[in-house]
Each structure stands twice: as structure tokens, then as C-alpha cells.
Amino acid sequence: MKINENTLLEGHRVLLVPYNEEHVPRYHEWMKSPELQQLTASEPLSLQQEYDMQKSWREDNDKCTFIILDKQRWVDPGVDEEQCMVGDVNIFLTDPSDPFLAELEVMIAEPSYRGRGIGKEVTRMMMSYGITKLGVKKFQAKIGLDNQVSISMFKKLQFQEASVCSVFKEATLELMVDDSVRTKLQEDVAYMKERDYKQTCSSRHELVQQ
Ligand SMILES: CC(C)(COP(=O)(O)OP(=O)(O)OC[C@H]1O[C@@H](n2cnc3c(N)ncnc32)[C@H](O)[C@@H]1OP(=O)(O)O)[C@@H](O)C(=O)NCCC(=O)NCCS
């Protein structure tokens, strides 16, 4: 999706930035992990296929992707952006007949960043972005039944189990966006700032002072 091609979302501990070509090598390294392949139900891709995927995610109108960066590392202009990558978060508009339905995916690829509240923070930020910029009215998350951490995280975010597919060993959790969800989310991510990505890149060190 082109809508976020120059968008940076600033959170407490993270920055969400558009998925660019420069992120692909690290992303490709992550996805060689059998654990991540299993947890995210992904097939391993060649490096070239990963570049093609990045391009299609940028071009296609049904997918919005951000790379999650460690904000504290990124404000040091001496550190390559690739070295600040922590994971990714995506919205898929899965049903052409229902443009308000979005599937959410989040991956904290770096194990040392898990269990520190980052998954919850980026999911809330992405939901807020999806509601305000894409008009999402219902979120879904499809999660492997043995991924209890992810199931627990989405339940903490008020998602409810809608169905279980025993063939794919997968649960679908859902959240309808009503006024109370919208209000709570706005309060929870009131600190979030939207910035111009390229402009902020050219003055990274100023981010902490703003
Ligand atoms: C699932 C994932 C996104 C959660 O993100 P995270 O940053 O590790 O989670 P957070 O620290 O924000 O915790 C969110 C909730 O998850 C649950 N959780 C986190 N770590 C947990 C653990 N070790 N055991 C059990 N539950 C855990 C808790 O419910 C927690 O809420 P709480 O802190 O209020 O108790 C992340 O662990 C991850 O990406 N794992 C690998 C890839 C993956 O599974 N992606 C999801 C595919 S559907």
C-alpha cells in the first residue's frame, strides 16, 4: 500500500516505518528461523523472492506494512536502520467485498525484544492507524493454536475467539470497532505521533528532544 510510504509512527519504545528495500536482507535472515516460520505460518523464501514480496506489499492496495524499529537505537544516527529492526506489523484487507475488515499480523522477530510490552504497543498503534486512516471496522487475527503467547496478547487487547479450524490448527480472534473500543484505543495511544519519514530520517537525533 502506498498510503504509508513516507509515514513514521512514533511510539514510546518503537518507531513504525514503511517496509523498504534496505530492510529486506535482515527480514530475510529472520525468516530463515524455523521457529518464526512455524509461529507465523510462513514459507521460507529466497532473497530475490523476499525483494519481490517487499515490492508487492508496497504496491498492492490490500496490504499495509510497517517495520518495527527500536527507537532508542535509531535516534543515534551512527547506527544503521537495519540494525534497529525488531519485527513487523501488517494489516491485510482480506475481503474485497468488505473493505472494512482487516486481518492483523504482528511479529517481534528479535527474541530479546519479546515479553517487554512491545507486541501490545505496536498492535495498538497499528489498530489506531487502521481505524483512522483505512476506516477499519473489524479486526481479525489468525493464530496457531499452540501460539499461546499471541492468543493471550490479542485477548488482552479485547479480541474474542470467533472460530477454531481444527484442520489448520488455527483460531480466529476478532474485535469489532465500536465507540468504546475507539475511545479506549485513542487514550492508550494518545502519545503516538505521526511524522514525515524521510524528513525525520535526516534529523534522527532530534527525535528524543521533541
Ligand atoms: C506474539 C508476540 C507478537 C507478542 O509480543 P510481545 O512483545 O512478546 O508481547 P508483550 O510483551 O507485548 O505481551 C503481550 C501479552 O502477551 C502475553 N505474553 C507475553 N509474553 C508471554 C509469555 N512468555 N508467556 C505467556 N504470555 C505471554 C501476555 O498476555 C502479555 O500481556 P501482559 O503483559 O499484560 O500480561 C511476540 O512474542 C512474537 O512476535 N512472537 C513470535 C512471532 C509470533 O508468534 N507472531 C504472532 C503470529 S500470530
Conformation bin of residue 41: beta by default, left when phi > 0, alpha when psi is -120 to 50: left
The pick from 106, 114, 169 for probing ligand 1's pocket by mutation, whose C-beta has the most ligand atoms within 8 angstroms, reads 114
Ligand 1 near 118 CB (within 6 A): yes
pLDDT 10s digits, 105-119? 999 999 999 999 999
DSSP for the chain, written as a single string: --TTTTEEEE-SSEEEEE--GGGHHHHHHHTT-HHHHHHTT-----HHHHHHHHHHHHH-TTEEEEEEEEHHHHTSTTS-GGGGEEEEEEEE---TT-TTEEEEEEEE-SGGGTTSSHHHHHHHHHHHHHHHHH---EEEEEEETT-HHHHHHHHHTT-EEEEEETTTTEEEEEEE--HHHHHHHHHHTTT-EEEEHHHHHTTGGGGGG-
Q: Would you say residue 45 has pLDDT above 90? A: yes
pLDDT 10s digits, 127-184? 999 999 999 999 999 999 999 999 999 999 999 999 999 999 999 999 999 999 999 9
pLDDT confidence band for 15 (50 / 70 / 90): very high
Q: Which residue has the higher pLDDT, 98 or 205?
A: 98
Ligand 1 near 135 CB (within 6 A): no
Ligand 1 near 151 CB (within 6 A): no
Amino acid at 138: K
Q: Which cell numbers hold the place of 58? A: 508496497
Instruction: Sketch out the chain's domains with CATH numbers.
Output: 7-190 (3.40.630.30)
Q: Would you say residue 93 has pLDDT above 70? A: yes
The pick from 66, 86, 142, 149 for probing ligand 1's pocket by mutation, whose C-beta has the most ligand atoms within 8 angstroms, reads 149
pLDDT confidence band for 209 (50 / 70 / 90): low
How many Å is the maximal CA-CA distance in the chain? 52
Ligand 1 near 116 CB (within 6 A): yes
Q: Would you say residue 210 has pLDDT above 90? A: no
Which pLDDT belongs to residue 117? 97
Measured in angstroms, how far is the CA atom of residue 68 from the centroid of ligand 1?
Answer: 15
Measured in angstroms, how far is the CA atom of residue 198 from the centroid of ligand 1?
Answer: 31
Mean pLDDT for the chain overall: 96
Measured in angstroms, how far is the CA atom of residue 138 from the centroid of ligand 1?
Answer: 21
* Ligand 1: residue whose CA is nearest its atom 21: 149
**Cβ-based neighbour number of residue 63 at 10 Å:** 18
Ligand 1 near 4 CB (within 6 A): no
**Sign of the CA dihedral running 15, 21, 25, 29:** positive
Q: Which residue has the higher pLDDT, 42 or 208?
A: 42
Provide the residue count of the chain.
210
* Ligand 1: residue whose CA is nearest its atom 47: 40
Q: Which cell numbers hold the place of 186? A: 485513542
Which pLDDT belongs to residue 207? 87
On whether the CB atoms of residues 14 and 68 are closer than 8 A, the answer is yes
Which own/partner pairs from 155-162 qualify as long-range (CB within 8 Å, at least 24 positions apart)?
156/120, 157/120, 157/123, 157/124, 157/127, 158/184
Greatest mean pLDDT among 58-62, 102-106, 204-208 = 102-106
